[in-house]
Chain A
Amino acid sequence: MLLEVRDLHIGYGDAPAVWGASLDVDAGEIVSVIGPNGAGKTTLINAIAGLLRVRQGELRFDGADMRHVKAHEFCAHGIALVPEGRRLFVKMSVEENLELGCYLPAARAARAESLERVYGLFPILRQKRLQPAGELSGGQQQMVAIGRALMARPRIVLFDEPSLGLAPAIVDDMFDIIVRVRDSGAAVLLVEQNVLKALGVADRAYVLEQGRIMAHGVPDELMTQPHIREAYLGV
């Protein structure tokens, strides 16, 4: 198992807490975590990315215990985050944002190749490479955020609400990209409020409510459960 989360407790400040969440992501999988606003999805994914301290429970990546690993060392293990709201370095150019993705020496060595790959995936970014990232449209900024993650040559990409605030036409493209990220060899953990889309691309999914995992399984099976049909699919 690539990512193993066991009985994870996280709580900080005003953010929603997580109480004993467990989930797994294996290599080559897309795993979605769905749930309402304030359920703790972002808290959970930020802890897996190393941005938040874990209070209790287990967090293992490729067998390594990650609980006491420093935030800036998570990336070296192969974990890359596409954060909620994109959080680009808006004053820096598009290409500098991408280069930040390959900040660590191992990824830096493959800079040219990774850049070609990202520009191949998002040709518009090559045209805009010298513009400040803050001047791009929402969809283009999301491309930069995904590109930045890919530059790190990650083994898992954590997507936090990638469709949030994007035009509907672009949302479909974004989910296509997530599938292509997986096909290129990285596992994907996806946190989404767009339940239909998130279940559509997932191999497996978890339902997080009030900081607890309430259900998990393959999407087809989850979609037959009455509670989930009622709460998330509106049928």
Chain B
Amino acid sequence: MPSATLLGQALISGVLAGGMYGLLAMGLSLSWGLLRLVNLSHFALAFLSAYIVYELGTKYGVAPWWSAAMVVPLMFAVGASQYWLFDRFRVNELASLLITFSFAVIVEAGIQIYWTADYRRFETHYATESIKAGPFFIPVLDLTMCIVASVLAWGTWMWLRKTYVGKGLRAAAEDADIAAAYGVDHRKLAYILSGIGAAYAGIAGTFIALIATLAPAQIWAWLGVVFAVVIIGRLGNPMGALLAGMLIGASESLAMAVLSPAWAPVVSFSVLIVILLWDPEWL
């Protein structure tokens, strides 16, 4: 059995790493829950953003936040354009899965053609900085990512609950016809939401560029676990996505510390199954 310090460190690292799951899950959850579109290309957009941030940073020396300021609006535009396609061809939930899968494959190929299949790493001094809190180390980048993810999750949650646009989106997700009868222009709101979801992929991508090693096939690496997070956090619920991400991150990290790294996926999907079967009231 590992020491308490090691377990505590695993817990901290896991929760922080889980922030990335939450950040990726948020955009997916919004579009799935409120637009009934399962956007598999969300992961591809995140990695495309990561590569752009990497490219701008390594080739032109652009600071990551400036790259983010370019990539995030770009992704918003991509997301809104995707919705145009979905709307134009009246894509349903299942078809959206297939179409966005194809889109993700195309983006993956594009990345491979331009950046090759080699591993890429955007070396910055942020990556190694950490704060020492008692016996524990808190990596500054992961902490920043979690703060950004928390602010986004909370902000989005409030936006959905407190504004008329948010209420209109939630109402249209339940009954689009009746929402329309009270003046909700669902299509207009859907463009905005689809753009926001993709913009979140841009934000996630910026952090992926700084934290992870990039390779085209990595697009699919988090697919399973992020889907689990989306479902545990409840569709359309950004706060749920973030908390579920941290829960899965923490349990994976603890499993790796106590058992072995091979156990990480077993634990996260066991948590998913247990929560689905248990179906607790508070979820």
Q: Does A228 contact B (CB under 8 A)?
A: no
Instruction: From A80, A81, A90, A100, name the one whose CB has the most chain B CB atoms within 10 angstroms.
Output: A100
Q: Does A162 contact B (CB under 8 A)?
A: no
Query: A148 contacts which chain B residues (CB < 8 A)?
Result: 182
CB-based contact A99/B177 at 8 Å: no
Q: Does B179 contact A (CB under 8 A)?
A: yes
Contact of A89 among B174, B180, B181, B183 (CB under 8 A): B174
- Knowing A96-B167, A108-B164, the reply to whether A101 touches B182 (Cβ < 8 A) is yes
- CA of A74 to CA of B181, assembled, Å: 7
Q: Which residue of A lies closest to B187 (CB)?
A: A72
Fill in one digit per residue for A125-162: 1 if any B CB lies within 8 Å of its CB, else 0.
Answer: 00000000000000000000000100010000000000
Q: Which residue of A lies closest to B161 (CB)?
A: A96
Contact of A100 among B171, B177, B185, B186 (CB under 8 A): B171
Fill in one digit per residue for B167-181: 1 if any A CB lies within 8 Å of its CB, else 0.
Answer: 110110011011111
Q: Does B241 contact A (CB under 8 A)?
A: no
Query: B38 contacts which chain A residues (CB < 8 A)?
Result: none
Q: How large is the interface on B (under 10, 10 to 19, 20 to 34, 35 or more residues)?
A: 10 to 19
- CA of A93 to CA of B135, assembled, Å: 46
Q: Which residue of A lies closest to B178 (CB)?
A: A87
Query: B250 contacts which chain A residues (CB < 8 A)?
Result: none
- CA of A41 to CA of B275, assembled, Å: 45
Fill in one digit per residue for A96-123: 1 if any B CB lies within 8 Å of its CB, else 0.
Answer: 1001110110001000000000000000
CB-based contact B174/A75 at 8 Å: no
Q: Does B184 contact A (CB under 8 A)?
A: yes
Query: B168 contacts which chain A residues (CB < 8 A)?
Result: 100, 103
What is the number of contacts between chain A and chain B, taking CB atoms within 8 Å?
Answer: 68
- CA of A108 to CA of B182, assembled, Å: 12
- Knowing A72-B186, A103-B184, the reply to whether A91 touches B178 (Cβ < 8 A) is no
- Knowing A89-B171, A91-B174, A92-B170, the reply to whether A50 touches B164 (Cβ < 8 A) is no
Query: B185 contacts which chain A residues (CB < 8 A)?
Result: 70, 72
- CA of A70 to CA of B170, assembled, Å: 20
CB-based contact A83/B184 at 8 Å: no
Q: B-side binding surface: helix, strand, loop or mixed? A: helix
Query: B180 contacts which chain A residues (CB < 8 A)?
Result: 50-51, 71-72
CB-based contact A75/B181 at 8 Å: yes
Q: How large is the interface on A (under 10, 10 to 19, 20 to 34, 35 or more residues)?
A: 20 to 34
Contact of B182 among A75, A90, A92 (CB under 8 A): A75
Write the nearest CB–CB distance from B186 to chain A, whole angstroms: 7
Contact of B183 among A49, A72, A87 (CB under 8 A): A72
Query: B182 contacts which chain A residues (CB < 8 A)?
Result: 75, 80, 100-101, 103-104, 148, 152
Write the nearest CB–CB distance from B165 to chain A, whole angstroms: 10
- CA of A180 to CA of B179, assembled, Å: 25
Write the nearest CB–CB distance from A46 to chain B, whole angstroms: 8
Q: Does A76 contact B (CB under 8 A)?
A: yes
Query: A99 contacts which chain B residues (CB < 8 A)?
Result: 164, 167
- CA of A103 to CA of B184, assembled, Å: 7
CB-based contact B181/A92 at 8 Å: no
Query: B177 contacts which chain A residues (CB < 8 A)?
Result: 51, 71
Write the nearest CB–CB distance from B160 to chain A, whole angstroms: 11
- CA of A50 to CA of B171, assembled, Å: 18
Query: A83 contacts which chain B residues (CB < 8 A)?
Result: 178, 181
Q: Which residue of B lies closest to A76 (CB)?
A: B183
- CA of A74 to CA of B183, assembled, Å: 7
Q: Which residue of B lies closest to A111 (CB)?
A: B164
Query: A75 contacts which chain B residues (CB < 8 A)?
Result: 181-183
A sample of 24 inter-chain contacts (CB < 8 A) reads: A51-B180, A71-B177, A72-B183, A72-B184, A72-B185, A75-B181, A76-B183, A80-B181, A83-B178, A87-B175, A87-B178, A89-B171, A89-B174, A91-B174, A92-B174, A96-B170, A99-B164, A100-B171, A103-B164, A103-B167, A103-B168, A103-B179, A108-B164, A152-B183
Having A71-B177, A103-B179, one finds 9 other A-B pairs with CB under 8 Å, namely A70-B185, A71-B181, A72-B184, A83-B181, A89-B171, A89-B179, A103-B164, A148-B182, A152-B183
